Amino acid sequence: MAVVEWKKDGTVAILTMITAENRHNPTFAADMLAALDEIEADQEVKAIVLASSDKKNWSLGIDLTWMMDAVAKNRTQDIKAFMYELNRLFKRILTIPMPVIAAMNGHAFGDGAILFCTCDFRFMRSDRGYFCFPEVDINIPFLPGMLAQMKKAMPYYKLEELVYSGKRATGRELEECHMVVKACEGEEELMKEAVAFARTFTKGRAIFKEHKWRLHRHIVEIIDKEDPAYIEPLNLMVS
């Protein structure tokens, strides 16, 4: 069963995560990558809005049920392959030749929050949904590539506050520090504003590709060169 779907609305592709918590597992990564390939193949599309069909959650990050089952069964190669595939998804968003605009209608926690950061622009609801890095409370440090993606999305002082505290941030709070373009009243306004913003992008793909590559090349290099040192030994937690 698919976990994402997309439709075209003029020059905008609305890519929707369609499970209850939009957890990240091998199926999620594969379906997202396939959908991005399909969207890029449509030459009429100029921008992507990444949304969620769930009314409560945008994305709650890693599928812990899948991960714990893989750990219990000592499927280390499956875990490594998934981590690399997830990084491939992040790199795809960072380099796809059009803007990717997150429309966060519910909670974004952990790896879901990192996915939110990876997008080029971000919208949130002001009345629902928290953005949170709970990793400090569960003893999971971020991979270097994750930190690089987070740094591009928010001021450093805000990054330190959220990483060290594990606090939950609202749309209004993140709008104030310019991480979020706009905090919107309700889901209808959220999608209206995000899609309208996406329609403003009419530039050619060639220049978008070059700009995104030059802006994000250092992040891609960190993902490729530094993350394997933690993924290969599965050094993903601290005691």
- pLDDT tens readout for residues 108-150: 999 999 999 999 999 999 999 999 999 999 999 999 999 999 9
Number of domains in the chain: 1
d(CA 97, CA 145): 20
What per-residue confidence (pLDDT) applies to 239? Answer: 45
pLDDT tens column, 97-115: 999 999 999 999 999 999 9
Average pLDDT rounded to a whole number, residues 200-221: 96
Question: Strand pairing of 121-125 and 107-109?
Answer: unpaired
Q: Is residue 57 part of a domain?
A: yes
Average pLDDT rounded to a whole number, residues 201-209: 95
Q: Is residue 67 part of a domain?
A: yes
CATH number at residue 155: 3.90.226.10
Q: Is residue 232 part of a domain?
A: no
SS3 sequence, 177-218?
Answer: CCCCCEEECHHHHHHHHHHHHHHCCCCCHHHHHHHHHHHHHH
Q: Is residue 206 part of a domain?
A: no
Q: Is residue 115 part of a domain?
A: yes
User: 189: domain range?
Assistant: 4-199
Q: Is residue 239 part of a domain?
A: no
Determine the Cα angle at 103 with ends 43 and 118, to 5°.
75
d(CA 228, CA 88): 13
**pLDDT value at 1 more than 90:** no
CA neighbours closer than 13 Å in the CB half-sphere of residue 116: 32
Give the list of residues 6+ apart from residue 125 with CB closer than 8 angstroms, or none: 104, 105, 106, 171, 183, 184, 185, 186, 187, 190
Q: pTM value?
A: 0.96
**pLDDT value at 238 more than 60:** no
Terminal CA-CA length for the chain: 37
Q: Is residue 205 part of a domain?
A: no
What per-residue confidence (pLDDT) applies to 234? Answer: 84
**pLDDT value at 167 more than 60:** yes
d(CA 180, CA 107): 14
* Residue 236's pLDDT band (cuts 50, 70, 90): low
Q: Is residue 209 part of a domain?
A: no
Q: 197 — phi, psi (to 5°)?
A: -65, -45
